[in-house]
Amino acid sequence: MGRLPVIDTGVAVNTRSLTRTLFLGSADVVRLVRQRGLSTCIEGMAEYIEAEFRRWPQFDKSPRLAAHSASGVIELMPVADASRFAFKYVNGHPSNTGQGLPTVMAFGVLADVATGAPRLMAELTIATAMRTAAMSALAARWLARPGSRRMAVIGNGAQSEFQALAFRDLVGIRELRLFDTDADATAKLAANLAGQGLTLTRCASIAEAVRGADVVTTVTADKTMATIVTPEMLEPGMHLNAVGGDCPGKTELHPGVLQAASVFVEYEPQTRIEGDIQQMPHDFPVTEFWQVLAGTAAGRRSDVEVTVFDSVGFALEDLAALAYLHEAACELGIGQQVDLVTASPDPKNLFATLSASPRPVQLPSAALAA
């Protein structure tokens, strides 16, 4: 699943063909999603993510490298196993929409570990939205109460439609209770979800939205230490899918909510820095989600237990998304092969690629005189 082709180095090959990279621009990704269908892509990414998380110990992992500013953050997210290396470039700038720019923009690379050759370079803004929703729904399959049908969505921006459809298809959610401080955002979400088989209720407050919800998804953008969900809003058996608290100084859950719940994370060293648990003591207990998949740790233990998935987004999800895009693009014939890196006829003579017909080096006249 999503593996790069293995090249037999014992056979003479065209060097240029080995360094060519499949490029998927924004239009290519849109075309791919339209041809396959959004639901199919989200479900496919969830399958890829689960497969990779089940191989968790085989990956070389690290927290992402982040450059923070007053207006947002720019990050690099690397991960690798024995055969593939991937990274994603992604930003998060909440005020971008005022300038006509997306809050999140991303691209990524999938490379062959054996040679270092980049095999795929892809626009990942849409794919990031899909893989984030896929990861949330995958976690909820294991952590939400069986039979969950009602979800509150707090924050109705660019990620909200993807979350709604992922939970509809992968978890069985049928009713959404919507709230955003921006009424236009809620109207946008409702319009986009019309005819999607979901019952939509616009709510006047967070408390109203979460009342009676089986699942609460928080996906807000403001870079503040917010307490969107507070302890008095919790109900027995509730699952909280906390997506928006994803960088230092940005939270969504009151500390009391975390204290009252069993908390699950993707990669603990990263979530301690960026997630809602950044506000908790360093020894606050959490469980990495891969352990639940592996059967080495319990997920939900009862119908009355409150669970939290403190999601910040981890690079392994992006590797899975890139692998999914690579396989789908090859199958559908989408994308262009580009010369992203130089392929020299003689890999030991890079300088010669600058001249069609290499000539002897000409020394300066002063050097000849000497």
Residues facing 264 on adjacent strands: 287, 309
Q: Give 18-21's long-range contacts (Cβ < 8 A, gap of 24+).
A: 18/115, 18/117, 18/343, 19/117, 19/339, 19/340, 19/341, 19/342, 19/343, 20/337, 20/338, 20/339, 20/340, 20/343, 21/117, 21/118, 21/119, 21/120, 21/121, 21/337, 21/338, 21/339, 21/340, 21/341
State the pLDDT at residue 364. 56
- Rounded to 5 degrees, φ, ψ at 354 are -80, -10
State the pLDDT at residue 15. 55
State the pLDDT at residue 14. 53
Q: Under 8 Å CB-to-CB from 359, ≥6 apart: which residues? A: none
Contact of 264 with 139, CB cutoff 8 Å = yes
Q: Is 243 left (phi over 0), alpha (psi -120 to 50) or beta?
A: alpha
State the pLDDT at residue 175. 98
Residues facing 21 on adjacent strands: 338
- What is the rounded distance in angstroms from the CA atom of residue 368 to the CA atom of residue 221? 65
Q: Given the DSSP bridges, would you call strands 73-80 and 65-68 parallel, antiparallel or unpaired? A: antiparallel
State the pLDDT at residue 365. 56
Question: Nearest CA to 221 among 197, 201, 245?
Answer: 245
Q: Under 8 Å CB-to-CB from 267, ≥6 apart: which residues? A: 61, 63, 288, 314, 316
pLDDT per residue as tens, the chain (370 positions): 545 444 343 433 455 667 899 999 999 999 999 999 999 999 999 999 999 999 999 999 999 999 989 899 999 999 999 999 999 999 999 899 999 999 999 999 999 999 999 999 999 999 999 999 999 999 999 999 999 999 999 999 999 999 999 999 999 999 999 999 999 999 999 999 999 999 999 999 999 999 999 999 999 988 889 999 999 999 999 999 999 998 899 999 999 999 999 999 999 999 999 999 999 999 999 999 999 999 999 999 999 999 999 999 999 999 999 999 999 999 999 999 999 999 888 889 998 888 865 455 455 555 445 4
Domains in the chain, CATH or no CATH each: 16-126+317-343 (3.30.1780.10), 133-313 (3.40.50.720)
State the pLDDT at residue 363. 53
Q: Which listed residue (28, 169, 246, 318) is catalytic?
A: 246
State the pLDDT at residue 8. 41
Length of the chain counted residue by residue:
370
State the pLDDT at residue 6. 41
The pTM for the full model equals 0.90
> Is-catalytic flag, 246?
yes
State the pLDDT at residue 260. 98
Q: How far is CA 42 from CA 98, 126, 262, 325, in A?
A: 29, 11, 26, 11
In single-letter form, the type of residue at position 202 comes to R
Tokens for 340, please give them: 């992203």
